[in-house]
Amino acid sequence: MLAEAGWETLLLDRARFPRDKPCGEFLTPGAASILQSLGVWGRLTEQGISPVDRLSIRSANRFRLEHAPEENLTAGWTVRRRTLDAILLEQARSVGVEVREAVVFRSLIRESGQVRGVLAAGKCASLCEWRSRLVIGADGARSKVAREMGVVKPIRRLQRLAVVTHWRGLELDCGLEMRSSGSVVCGAGRLPDHSVNLTLVVPTGESRKIAGRAGDYVTEMIYRHFPDLAARLPDGQREPEIQTTHCFGHYCRRTSDDGVMLAGDAAAFVDPFTGEGVFFALRGAELAARTAYQALTSGDVSAVSLASYDRARRELMRRYLLCGLVQGIVRTPTLFNLVVRRLNRHPALQDRLFQVLSDTEPPGRVLHPGYLLRLLLPI
Ligand SMILES: Cc1cc2nc3c(=O)[nH]c(=O)nc-3n(C[C@H](O)[C@H](O)[C@H](O)COP(=O)(O)OP(=O)(O)OC[C@H]3O[C@@H](n4cnc5c(N)ncnc54)[C@H](O)[C@@H]3O)c2cc1C
Protein backbone atom coordinates (compact mmCIF):
# COMPACT_ATOMS: atom_id res chain seq x y z
CA MET A 1 0.00 0.00 0.00
CA LEU A 2 2.86 2.37 0.83
CA ALA A 3 4.75 1.46 -2.33
CA GLU A 4 1.62 2.09 -4.38
CA ALA A 5 1.36 5.50 -2.74
CA GLY A 6 4.86 6.25 -4.01
CA TRP A 7 7.08 5.49 -1.01
CA GLU A 8 10.34 3.65 -1.54
CA THR A 9 9.69 0.41 0.34
CA LEU A 10 12.01 -2.46 1.28
CA LEU A 11 10.61 -5.80 2.50
CA LEU A 12 12.95 -8.15 4.38
CA ASP A 13 11.84 -11.71 5.19
CA ARG A 14 13.90 -14.55 6.59
CA ALA A 15 12.01 -17.12 4.50
CA ARG A 16 12.40 -18.05 0.86
CA PHE A 17 9.08 -18.11 -0.97
CA PRO A 18 7.01 -20.07 -1.77
CA ARG A 19 6.92 -21.56 1.71
CA ASP A 20 4.31 -23.12 3.97
CA LYS A 21 3.15 -21.38 7.12
CA PRO A 22 1.34 -23.20 9.95
CA CYS A 23 -2.28 -22.09 9.51
CA GLY A 24 -5.83 -23.43 9.22
CA GLU A 25 -5.83 -21.79 5.74
CA PHE A 26 -9.35 -20.38 6.13
CA LEU A 27 -10.11 -16.80 5.09
CA THR A 28 -13.12 -14.82 6.27
CA PRO A 29 -15.17 -12.90 3.66
CA GLY A 30 -13.75 -9.71 5.25
CA ALA A 31 -10.20 -10.88 4.47
CA ALA A 32 -11.29 -11.81 0.95
CA SER A 33 -12.61 -8.32 0.27
CA ILE A 34 -9.28 -6.73 1.31
CA LEU A 35 -7.45 -9.19 -0.96
CA GLN A 36 -9.77 -8.10 -3.77
CA SER A 37 -8.93 -4.46 -3.15
CA LEU A 38 -5.21 -5.32 -3.22
CA GLY A 39 -5.68 -6.64 -6.75
CA VAL A 40 -4.65 -10.25 -6.08
CA TRP A 41 -8.06 -11.95 -6.36
CA GLY A 42 -7.68 -12.86 -10.03
CA ARG A 43 -4.39 -14.66 -9.41
CA LEU A 44 -5.84 -16.39 -6.34
CA THR A 45 -8.78 -17.76 -8.29
CA GLU A 46 -6.41 -18.94 -11.05
CA GLN A 47 -4.02 -20.64 -8.65
CA GLY A 48 -6.48 -22.08 -6.13
CA ILE A 49 -8.96 -20.58 -3.70
CA SER A 50 -12.27 -22.28 -2.81
CA PRO A 51 -15.48 -20.95 -1.32
CA VAL A 52 -16.65 -22.55 1.93
CA ASP A 53 -20.33 -23.46 1.57
CA ARG A 54 -21.08 -24.21 5.22
CA LEU A 55 -19.20 -24.20 8.47
CA SER A 56 -19.89 -25.92 11.75
CA ILE A 57 -18.72 -25.52 15.33
CA ARG A 58 -19.09 -28.60 17.55
CA SER A 59 -18.54 -28.95 21.28
CA ALA A 60 -17.29 -31.99 23.21
CA ASN A 61 -20.82 -33.36 23.66
CA ARG A 62 -21.31 -32.98 19.93
CA PHE A 63 -23.77 -30.13 20.12
CA ARG A 64 -23.37 -28.43 16.79
CA LEU A 65 -23.86 -24.97 15.39
CA GLU A 66 -24.02 -24.97 11.63
CA HIS A 67 -23.98 -21.93 9.42
CA ALA A 68 -24.78 -21.68 5.73
CA PRO A 69 -25.03 -18.12 4.47
CA GLU A 70 -27.75 -16.92 2.13
CA GLU A 71 -27.59 -17.77 -1.54
CA ASN A 72 -24.77 -16.03 -3.46
CA LEU A 73 -22.82 -15.48 -0.25
CA THR A 74 -20.02 -17.63 1.09
CA ALA A 75 -19.07 -18.55 4.67
CA GLY A 76 -15.43 -17.93 3.77
CA TRP A 77 -12.63 -19.26 1.60
CA THR A 78 -9.75 -21.71 1.84
CA VAL A 79 -6.36 -21.30 0.24
CA ARG A 80 -2.94 -22.88 0.77
CA ARG A 81 -0.76 -20.36 2.58
CA ARG A 82 2.08 -21.34 0.25
CA THR A 83 -0.07 -19.95 -2.60
CA LEU A 84 -1.51 -16.90 -0.82
CA ASP A 85 1.78 -15.63 0.60
CA ALA A 86 3.68 -16.12 -2.66
CA ILE A 87 0.99 -14.18 -4.56
CA LEU A 88 1.07 -11.34 -2.01
CA LEU A 89 4.84 -11.14 -2.33
CA GLU A 90 4.62 -11.12 -6.13
CA GLN A 91 2.05 -8.32 -5.93
CA ALA A 92 4.32 -6.31 -3.60
CA ARG A 93 7.16 -6.66 -6.11
CA SER A 94 4.91 -5.63 -8.99
CA VAL A 95 3.98 -2.33 -7.31
CA GLY A 96 7.63 -1.49 -6.68
CA VAL A 97 8.53 -3.02 -3.31
CA GLU A 98 12.14 -4.17 -3.20
CA VAL A 99 11.96 -7.67 -1.74
CA ARG A 100 14.92 -9.38 -0.07
CA GLU A 101 14.32 -13.00 0.93
CA ALA A 102 16.43 -15.04 3.39
CA VAL A 103 17.32 -11.94 5.37
CA VAL A 104 16.92 -12.23 9.15
CA PHE A 105 16.10 -9.17 11.22
CA ARG A 106 18.47 -8.87 14.18
CA SER A 107 17.95 -5.47 15.81
CA LEU A 108 16.63 -1.96 15.44
CA ILE A 109 19.05 0.89 14.79
CA ARG A 110 18.27 3.63 17.31
CA GLU A 111 19.71 7.14 17.34
CA SER A 112 18.68 9.59 20.07
CA GLY A 113 15.75 7.30 20.93
CA GLN A 114 14.46 7.31 17.35
CA VAL A 115 14.42 4.13 15.23
CA ARG A 116 16.41 4.78 12.02
CA GLY A 117 16.50 1.36 10.38
CA VAL A 118 17.46 -2.26 11.05
CA LEU A 119 20.44 -4.57 11.29
CA ALA A 120 19.80 -7.86 9.53
CA ALA A 121 21.75 -10.96 8.50
CA GLY A 122 21.65 -11.95 4.86
CA LYS A 123 24.09 -13.60 2.51
CA CYS A 124 27.02 -11.52 3.72
CA ALA A 125 28.91 -12.81 6.78
CA SER A 126 28.53 -9.55 8.71
CA LEU A 127 25.27 -7.83 9.62
CA CYS A 128 23.86 -5.50 6.98
CA GLU A 129 22.53 -2.12 7.93
CA TRP A 130 19.35 -0.84 6.29
CA ARG A 131 18.45 2.75 7.08
CA SER A 132 14.89 4.02 6.75
CA ARG A 133 12.60 6.74 7.96
CA LEU A 134 10.13 4.18 9.28
CA VAL A 135 10.34 0.50 10.25
CA ILE A 136 7.20 -1.68 10.28
CA GLY A 137 7.62 -4.94 12.21
CA ALA A 138 5.35 -7.52 10.58
CA ASP A 139 7.46 -10.47 11.67
CA GLY A 140 4.74 -12.69 13.09
CA ALA A 141 3.55 -13.85 16.52
CA ARG A 142 7.07 -14.17 17.96
CA SER A 143 8.07 -10.77 16.64
CA LYS A 144 11.61 -9.78 17.48
CA VAL A 145 10.80 -6.18 16.55
CA ALA A 146 8.01 -6.11 19.18
CA ARG A 147 10.30 -7.66 21.79
CA GLU A 148 12.97 -5.05 21.03
CA MET A 149 10.35 -2.36 21.53
CA GLY A 150 9.68 -3.91 24.96
CA VAL A 151 5.90 -3.86 24.52
CA VAL A 152 4.92 -7.55 24.43
CA LYS A 153 2.44 -8.88 27.02
CA PRO A 154 1.96 -12.66 26.76
CA ILE A 155 -1.58 -13.92 27.44
CA ARG A 156 -0.98 -16.89 29.72
CA ARG A 157 -4.10 -18.89 28.83
CA LEU A 158 -3.27 -18.58 25.10
CA GLN A 159 0.13 -20.31 25.20
CA ARG A 160 -0.59 -23.41 23.13
CA LEU A 161 0.92 -25.71 20.53
CA ALA A 162 -0.44 -26.35 17.06
CA VAL A 163 0.16 -29.29 14.74
CA VAL A 164 -0.88 -28.73 11.13
CA THR A 165 -1.39 -31.73 8.83
CA HIS A 166 -2.82 -32.22 5.34
CA TRP A 167 -4.86 -35.26 4.34
CA ARG A 168 -6.02 -36.80 1.06
CA GLY A 169 -9.29 -38.70 0.78
CA LEU A 170 -10.77 -37.41 4.04
CA GLU A 171 -14.46 -36.55 3.74
CA LEU A 172 -15.92 -33.58 5.63
CA ASP A 173 -19.61 -32.74 6.22
CA CYS A 174 -18.96 -29.01 5.77
CA GLY A 175 -16.29 -26.90 4.10
CA LEU A 176 -14.97 -26.02 7.57
CA GLU A 177 -15.53 -27.99 10.78
CA MET A 178 -14.31 -26.67 14.12
CA ARG A 179 -14.36 -28.96 17.15
CA SER A 180 -13.53 -28.38 20.76
CA SER A 181 -13.04 -30.87 23.58
CA GLY A 182 -11.74 -29.45 26.85
CA SER A 183 -8.39 -27.84 26.11
CA VAL A 184 -8.07 -29.51 22.69
CA VAL A 185 -9.27 -27.81 19.53
CA CYS A 186 -9.40 -29.29 16.05
CA GLY A 187 -10.09 -27.48 12.78
CA ALA A 188 -10.67 -29.31 9.50
CA GLY A 189 -11.11 -27.43 6.24
CA ARG A 190 -11.45 -28.57 2.64
CA LEU A 191 -8.76 -26.99 0.45
CA PRO A 192 -8.98 -26.10 -3.25
CA ASP A 193 -6.90 -29.16 -4.26
CA HIS A 194 -9.47 -31.37 -2.37
CA SER A 195 -6.99 -32.15 0.37
CA VAL A 196 -8.03 -31.36 3.96
CA ASN A 197 -6.15 -29.12 6.37
CA LEU A 198 -6.44 -30.74 9.80
CA THR A 199 -5.03 -28.57 12.57
CA LEU A 200 -4.88 -29.55 16.21
CA VAL A 201 -4.27 -26.98 18.96
CA VAL A 202 -3.28 -28.39 22.37
CA PRO A 203 -1.79 -27.19 25.68
CA THR A 204 1.98 -26.54 25.67
CA GLY A 205 2.43 -29.32 28.26
CA GLU A 206 1.89 -31.81 25.41
CA SER A 207 5.19 -30.91 23.69
CA ARG A 208 7.07 -34.01 24.85
CA LYS A 209 4.34 -36.28 23.49
CA ILE A 210 4.55 -34.56 20.09
CA ALA A 211 8.34 -34.45 19.63
CA GLY A 212 9.44 -36.80 16.85
CA ARG A 213 5.93 -38.33 16.40
CA ALA A 214 3.61 -35.46 15.50
CA GLY A 215 1.63 -37.51 12.93
CA ASP A 216 0.85 -40.36 15.35
CA TYR A 217 0.03 -37.81 18.04
CA VAL A 218 -2.59 -36.13 15.81
CA THR A 219 -4.24 -39.48 15.04
CA GLU A 220 -4.28 -40.50 18.72
CA MET A 221 -5.80 -37.20 19.81
CA ILE A 222 -8.52 -37.38 17.15
CA TYR A 223 -9.44 -40.91 18.28
CA ARG A 224 -9.49 -39.81 21.91
CA HIS A 225 -11.39 -36.52 21.57
CA PHE A 226 -13.33 -36.48 18.30
CA PRO A 227 -14.82 -39.94 17.57
CA ASP A 228 -17.04 -38.74 14.69
CA LEU A 229 -13.98 -37.45 12.84
CA ALA A 230 -11.93 -40.51 13.86
CA ALA A 231 -14.48 -42.74 12.13
CA ARG A 232 -13.49 -41.08 8.84
CA LEU A 233 -9.70 -41.13 9.33
CA PRO A 234 -9.14 -44.65 7.90
CA ASP A 235 -10.33 -43.34 4.49
CA GLY A 236 -7.74 -40.59 4.53
CA GLN A 237 -4.03 -40.53 3.94
CA ARG A 238 -1.87 -38.00 5.76
CA GLU A 239 0.72 -36.12 3.73
CA PRO A 240 4.21 -36.67 5.17
CA GLU A 241 4.97 -32.99 5.80
CA ILE A 242 3.74 -31.80 9.22
CA GLN A 243 4.18 -28.34 10.71
CA THR A 244 4.25 -27.67 14.44
CA THR A 245 4.31 -24.25 16.03
CA HIS A 246 3.98 -22.52 19.35
CA CYS A 247 0.83 -20.33 19.39
CA PHE A 248 2.21 -17.38 21.27
CA GLY A 249 -0.94 -15.52 22.38
CA HIS A 250 -0.09 -11.94 23.26
CA TYR A 251 -1.00 -8.31 22.87
CA CYS A 252 1.26 -5.25 22.82
CA ARG A 253 0.98 -2.34 25.22
CA ARG A 254 1.68 -0.05 22.26
CA THR A 255 1.96 -0.83 18.57
CA SER A 256 3.98 2.25 17.59
CA ASP A 257 6.90 4.26 18.89
CA ASP A 258 9.41 6.76 17.50
CA GLY A 259 10.02 5.60 13.91
CA VAL A 260 8.55 2.11 14.32
CA MET A 261 5.17 0.35 14.05
CA LEU A 262 3.90 -3.22 14.43
CA ALA A 263 1.42 -4.99 12.15
CA GLY A 264 -0.23 -8.42 11.95
CA ASP A 265 0.56 -11.08 14.54
CA ALA A 266 3.49 -8.97 15.72
CA ALA A 267 0.95 -6.48 17.11
CA ALA A 268 -1.39 -9.07 18.67
CA PHE A 269 -2.15 -12.76 18.37
CA VAL A 270 -5.12 -14.60 19.82
CA ASP A 271 -6.09 -18.26 19.62
CA PRO A 272 -6.82 -19.01 15.95
CA PHE A 273 -10.11 -20.88 16.69
CA THR A 274 -12.42 -18.69 14.64
CA GLY A 275 -9.88 -18.29 11.82
CA GLU A 276 -9.45 -14.57 11.36
CA GLY A 277 -5.70 -13.91 11.83
CA VAL A 278 -5.26 -13.12 8.15
CA PHE A 279 -8.11 -10.60 8.35
CA PHE A 280 -6.47 -8.98 11.41
CA ALA A 281 -3.15 -8.81 9.55
CA LEU A 282 -4.70 -7.32 6.39
CA ARG A 283 -6.98 -4.85 8.16
CA GLY A 284 -4.17 -3.88 10.56
CA ALA A 285 -1.93 -3.31 7.53
CA GLU A 286 -4.52 -0.95 6.02
CA LEU A 287 -4.64 1.04 9.25
CA ALA A 288 -0.83 1.02 9.56
CA ALA A 289 -0.37 2.16 5.95
CA ARG A 290 -2.83 5.03 6.45
CA THR A 291 -0.99 6.36 9.52
CA ALA A 292 2.44 5.71 8.00
CA TYR A 293 1.50 7.59 4.82
CA GLN A 294 0.34 10.65 6.78
CA ALA A 295 3.39 10.57 9.08
CA LEU A 296 5.88 10.18 6.22
CA THR A 297 4.18 12.89 4.17
CA SER A 298 4.25 15.34 7.06
CA GLY A 299 7.88 14.39 7.83
CA ASP A 300 6.96 13.52 11.42
CA VAL A 301 7.36 9.85 12.39
CA SER A 302 7.57 10.52 16.11
CA ALA A 303 5.68 8.38 18.65
CA VAL A 304 3.12 11.19 19.01
CA SER A 305 2.45 11.29 15.28
CA LEU A 306 2.20 7.48 14.99
CA ALA A 307 -0.05 7.13 18.06
CA SER A 308 -3.11 7.57 15.83
CA TYR A 309 -2.39 4.00 14.66
CA ASP A 310 -2.89 2.67 18.19
CA ARG A 311 -6.17 4.54 18.36
CA ALA A 312 -7.29 3.22 14.99
CA ARG A 313 -6.53 -0.33 16.09
CA ARG A 314 -9.26 -0.10 18.73
CA GLU A 315 -11.69 -1.33 16.07
CA LEU A 316 -9.69 -4.60 16.05
CA MET A 317 -9.63 -4.82 19.85
CA ARG A 318 -13.42 -5.32 19.93
CA ARG A 319 -13.02 -8.11 17.39
CA TYR A 320 -10.30 -9.78 19.54
CA LEU A 321 -12.69 -9.53 22.47
CA LEU A 322 -15.39 -11.33 20.49
CA CYS A 323 -12.91 -14.12 19.57
CA GLY A 324 -12.19 -14.62 23.26
CA LEU A 325 -15.90 -14.70 24.06
CA VAL A 326 -16.69 -17.26 21.34
CA GLN A 327 -13.80 -19.48 22.44
CA GLY A 328 -14.87 -19.24 26.08
CA ILE A 329 -18.44 -20.27 25.17
CA VAL A 330 -17.33 -23.18 22.98
CA ARG A 331 -15.10 -24.51 25.76
CA THR A 332 -17.95 -24.45 28.30
CA PRO A 333 -20.31 -27.20 27.08
CA THR A 334 -23.43 -26.16 29.06
CA LEU A 335 -23.12 -22.55 27.91
CA PHE A 336 -22.36 -23.63 24.34
CA ASN A 337 -25.45 -25.88 24.29
CA LEU A 338 -27.62 -23.01 25.51
CA VAL A 339 -26.21 -20.62 22.90
CA VAL A 340 -26.60 -23.17 20.10
CA ARG A 341 -30.24 -23.78 21.04
CA ARG A 342 -30.92 -20.02 21.05
CA LEU A 343 -29.11 -19.43 17.75
CA ASN A 344 -30.88 -22.34 16.08
CA ARG A 345 -34.25 -21.02 17.27
CA HIS A 346 -33.54 -17.41 16.22
CA PRO A 347 -31.97 -17.30 12.73
CA ALA A 348 -31.69 -13.49 12.84
CA LEU A 349 -29.41 -13.71 15.88
CA GLN A 350 -27.35 -16.40 14.18
CA ASP A 351 -27.02 -14.45 10.93
CA ARG A 352 -25.87 -11.37 12.78
CA LEU A 353 -23.23 -13.31 14.76
CA PHE A 354 -21.82 -14.93 11.62
CA GLN A 355 -21.79 -11.63 9.73
CA VAL A 356 -19.55 -10.25 12.49
CA LEU A 357 -17.39 -13.40 12.59
CA SER A 358 -17.11 -13.07 8.80
CA ASP A 359 -15.68 -9.56 9.26
CA THR A 360 -18.42 -8.06 7.12
CA GLU A 361 -20.16 -6.30 10.05
CA PRO A 362 -18.53 -4.49 12.98
CA PRO A 363 -18.24 -6.34 16.34
CA GLY A 364 -20.45 -3.70 17.98
CA ARG A 365 -23.44 -5.37 16.26
CA VAL A 366 -23.22 -8.26 18.75
CA LEU A 367 -21.12 -6.85 21.58
CA HIS A 368 -23.95 -4.88 23.11
CA PRO A 369 -26.31 -5.69 25.97
CA GLY A 370 -29.42 -5.96 23.76
CA TYR A 371 -27.92 -8.72 21.57
CA LEU A 372 -26.31 -10.57 24.47
CA LEU A 373 -29.52 -10.53 26.52
CA ARG A 374 -31.55 -11.87 23.62
CA LEU A 375 -28.90 -14.56 23.13
CA LEU A 376 -28.72 -15.71 26.73
CA LEU A 377 -32.16 -15.09 28.23
CA PRO A 378 -35.05 -17.41 27.41
CA ILE A 379 -37.35 -14.75 25.91
C1 LIG B 1 -2.27 -23.10 14.05
C2 LIG B 1 -2.74 -21.82 13.44
C3 LIG B 1 -3.89 -21.81 12.67
C4 LIG B 1 -4.34 -20.62 12.12
N5 LIG B 1 -5.43 -20.65 11.31
C6 LIG B 1 -5.86 -19.52 10.73
C7 LIG B 1 -6.93 -19.54 9.80
O8 LIG B 1 -7.50 -20.57 9.48
N9 LIG B 1 -7.31 -18.35 9.26
C10 LIG B 1 -6.70 -17.17 9.57
O11 LIG B 1 -7.11 -16.13 9.05
N12 LIG B 1 -5.66 -17.14 10.42
C13 LIG B 1 -5.22 -18.27 11.00
N14 LIG B 1 -4.13 -18.25 11.81
C15 LIG B 1 -3.47 -16.97 12.06
C16 LIG B 1 -2.67 -16.52 10.84
O17 LIG B 1 -1.82 -17.56 10.40
C18 LIG B 1 -1.85 -15.30 11.20
O19 LIG B 1 -2.65 -14.42 11.94
C20 LIG B 1 -1.32 -14.57 9.96
O21 LIG B 1 -0.46 -15.41 9.25
C22 LIG B 1 -0.60 -13.30 10.39
O23 LIG B 1 0.14 -12.79 9.33
P24 LIG B 1 1.49 -12.00 9.63
O25 LIG B 1 1.96 -11.50 8.30
O26 LIG B 1 1.32 -11.05 10.74
O27 LIG B 1 2.51 -13.09 10.19
P28 LIG B 1 3.14 -14.34 9.44
O29 LIG B 1 2.20 -14.87 8.44
O30 LIG B 1 3.64 -15.22 10.53
O31 LIG B 1 4.37 -13.72 8.65
C32 LIG B 1 5.50 -13.24 9.35
C33 LIG B 1 6.67 -13.22 8.39
O34 LIG B 1 7.79 -12.66 9.10
C35 LIG B 1 8.95 -13.40 8.77
N36 LIG B 1 9.89 -13.28 9.90
C37 LIG B 1 9.72 -13.72 11.17
N38 LIG B 1 10.78 -13.38 11.92
C39 LIG B 1 11.66 -12.75 11.10
C40 LIG B 1 12.95 -12.17 11.29
N41 LIG B 1 13.57 -12.18 12.48
N42 LIG B 1 13.54 -11.59 10.24
C43 LIG B 1 12.92 -11.57 9.01
N44 LIG B 1 11.70 -12.09 8.78
C45 LIG B 1 11.07 -12.67 9.82
C46 LIG B 1 8.46 -14.84 8.56
O47 LIG B 1 9.35 -15.55 7.73
C48 LIG B 1 7.08 -14.61 7.92
O49 LIG B 1 7.14 -14.65 6.51
C50 LIG B 1 -3.64 -19.41 12.36
C51 LIG B 1 -2.48 -19.42 13.12
C52 LIG B 1 -2.02 -20.60 13.67
C53 LIG B 1 -0.76 -20.61 14.48
CA of 22 to the centre of ligand 1 (A): 8
CATH of 10-55+75-154+252-319, one of 3.90.1150.10, 2.40.10.10, 3.50.50.60, 3.30.465.10: 3.50.50.60
Give how far Cα 252 sits from Cα of 40, 141, 148, 151, 282, Å.
Answer: 30, 11, 12, 5, 18
12 lines ligand 1 (CB under 6 A): yes
- Ligand 1 lined by 165 (C-beta under 6 Å): no
- Using the mean position of ligand 1's atoms as its centre, give its distance from the Cα of residue 346 in Å: 36
Residue 138 scores a pLDDT above 70:
yes
d(CA 357, CA 56): 13
Tell me the CA–centroid distance for residue 21 and ligand 1, in Å.
Answer: 7
Q: Kindly list the domain boundaries of the chain, sorted by start residue.
A: 10-55+75-154+252-319, 155-247, 330-376
User: Considering only CA atoms, which residue is closest to atom 5 of ligand 1?
Assistant: 24
User: In whole angstroms, what is the distance from residue 141 CA to residue 281 CA?
Assistant: 11
Q: Whose CA is nearest to atom 9 of ligand 1?
A: 275
Between the CA of 6 and the centroid of ligand 1 the distance, in Å, is: 26
pLDDT at 239 (0 to 100): 96
Provide mean pLDDT across the span 259-273. Answer: 92
Q: What is the pTM of this model?
A: 0.95
Compute the mean pLDDT over every residue in the chain, rounded to the nearest whole number: 94
Average pLDDT over residues 231-245: 96
Whether the CB of 122 sits within 6 Å of ligand 1: no
Do 10-55+75-154+252-319 and 155-247 show the same overall fold? no
- What is the per-residue pLDDT for 334? 86
Reported as a single tens digit per residue, the pLDDT across 190-211 is: 999 999 999 999 999 999 999 9
Q: What string of H, E and C letters represents the secondary structure of the chain?
A: CCCCCCCCCEEEECCCCCCCCCCCCEECHHHHHHHHHCCCHHHHHHHCCEEECCEEEECCCCCEEEECCCCCCCCEEECCHHHHHHHHHHHHHHCCCEEEECCEEEEEEEECCEEEEEEEECCCCCCEEEECCCEEECCCCCCHHHHHHCCEEEEEEEEEEEEEEEEECCCCCCCEEEEEECCEEEEEEECCCCCEEEEEEEEHHHHHHHCCCHHHHHHHHHHHHCHHHHCCHHHCEECCCCEEEEEEEEEECCCEECCEEECHHHCEECCHHHCCHHHHHHHHHHHHHHHHHHHHHHCCCCHHHHHHHHHHCHHHHHHHHHHHHHHHHHCCHHHHHHHHHHHHHCHHHHHHHHHHHCCCCCHHHCCCHHHHHHHHCCC
Domain 155-247, CATH number (from 2.60.120.330, 3.30.9.100, 3.40.190.10, 3.30.70.330)? 3.30.9.100
Among 87, 92, 84, 120, CA closest to 105: 120
In terms of pLDDT, which residue wins out, 324 or 216?
216
In tens, the pLDDT along 71-126 reads 888 999 999 999 999 999 999 999 999 999 999 999 999 999 999 999 999 877 78
